[in-house]
Chains A and B, each alone.
Chain A
């Protein structure tokens, strides 16, 4: 009895996973297949990217400041507060920037995607698209995925910059370090990681490959749960919650493994 239940649950899990990857494959494959829904793409880039700038600015700035405050205490015990710029630049660009931007976008955009597609599903608009001869994956999923793949890295760059700026504020007004010194150490850190193709700092590659993957995760999870919605408005709520939970967990887990891989590739 228990085994049977376990068996059913396992089968459902595998089946969902398969569905997810089929959706992902189609959505990404359609990027290269006509017709292109360019206006949908720009609309989504606006909604996902431009619409998220506010929260990204806020979270980035405050995270940078709090990171500086905490590190200042630690660094002071070694008399190393001059290096605060290095510490903040390193952690923001490699780790905090991508993950924070990813989590914020998952909360704001992932849930939005799930709610919108979920509502379209329960009000039969997805069926209507199918009936009118449009592939809903191409019309709805592909533009959202592509927009996220482009915009989440852009948001991350903004987040990184604002975070480092937040650190600058604390370094100047709390620790009394001159801005010139702070930014000098920031650039030292960013350039110390080595270069790919002789001019791209490795930290940038790490810091930008992560949000690219996160963008894919957020949009695909949102679209997957959105399109799978059933059971009316309640179903829409469930789809939204699941999206945020699943996408956030996936971001943190995938971040760990990506870091492992990237460290192995880029660290001497």
Chain B
């Protein structure tokens, strides 16, 4: 790498977060105790709520566009896959196990590059970016991994602070404030968990810390890989609720990969059904339940 490139990269990294900080100030100024109270209230509401109906009257800008994407390793994985997400929408990608659902998230993060087709984030085609530019695009996104993927050599605090340390020049007290805010947002008590190691946490708590880490940089887009798999029904409900809360309170655009059709219906603005390497259905949950397609009927059979 040349010095020039390096310098640009350094400047780019420094410029980016500060721009973001200005736009996201109101979010960060939230009072955590008020938020926790709101969580309890909403958890009760969640039970009687009809599925769908969450994201009406949102702005219409396309934040994510996947266009005619083909991908193959040893054998084809995705064929002619297209879907879009507008600002504030939650797209849930459902499908049987091993159909390449998680691959879609890796394409959005540009951890993988499609063989054909384009992936557009915020109007920018990320298919042909350099490695360094790809790192910058990834900063717009928060990713929650299936197993949370917390760095097990670091404490919860260090984990959540990691993206801030990496990409901002915030002083330590602001970092701490931000970490506390994010941990409170996911309904964890900062003072109790901050110094714990990931190995000391339960599965549900790890997921929450994972969400807090994904949120730390105030991303515009959140990606979730099987957020509810391997959790008990109660924890599943609270994680589902958290994703909904992010969508409503922060207006983030989300892509959720899941085979948990129940929670998918609860949080989706649109559902994309991946079957035989293709998107077999893309539309609202209501449209999905109304569909006569035999595969969809069979897929929904258990629901």
Interface, chain A (partner B; CB < 8 A): 29, 33-34, 120, 123-125, 127-128, 130-135
Contact = CB atoms under 8 A, between A and B. Distances in A.
Interface of B: 1, 6, 10, 13, 106, 109, 111, 131, 135-136, 138-139, 141, 143, 145-147, 149-152, 162-163, 166-167, 213
Contacts of B163: 132-133
A27 B135 CA distance: 18
A127 B149 contact: yes
Contacts of B10: 34
Given A124-B145, A132-B213, A134-B135, 19 more contacts: A33-B1, A123-B147, A123-B152, A124-B146, A125-B152, A127-B111, A127-B145, A127-B149, A128-B151, A130-B111, A130-B135, A131-B141, A132-B166, A133-B13, A133-B135, A133-B136, A133-B138, A133-B163, A133-B167
Contacts of B149: 123-125, 127-128
10 contacts: A33-B6, A128-B143, A131-B111, A132-B162, A132-B213, A133-B13, A133-B139, A133-B167, A134-B135, A135-B131
A130 B145 contact: no
Contacts of B111: 127, 130-131
B113 to A, nearest CB: 13
B105 to A, nearest CB: 9
B226 to A, nearest CB: 11
A132 B1 contact: no
A131 B109 contact: yes
Contacts of A133: 13, 135-136, 138-139, 163, 166-167
A135 B143 contact: no
A130 B109 contact: yes
Contacts of A135: 131, 135
Nearest to A43: B153
B147 A134 contact: no
Contacts of B13: 133
Nearest to A122: B147
- The 7 A-B residue pairs with the shortest CB-CB distance, nearest first, are A124-B149, A128-B149, A131-B143, A133-B135, A124-B145, A133-B139, A132-B163
A131 B1 CA distance: 21
A128 B142 CA distance: 10
A130 B223 CA distance: 14
A132 B152 CA distance: 15
B147 A124 contact: yes
A173 B10 CA distance: 63
A12 B146 CA distance: 31
Contacts of B167: 133
Contacts of B139: 133
A124 B143 CA distance: 11
Contacts of A132: 138, 162-163, 166, 213
A244 to B, nearest CB: 22
Nearest to A128: B149
Contacts of B106: 127
A128 B154 CA distance: 14
Given A123-B147, A123-B149, A125-B149, A130 B138 contact: yes
A33 B131 CA distance: 15
A124 B151 CA distance: 10
A127 B149 CA distance: 8
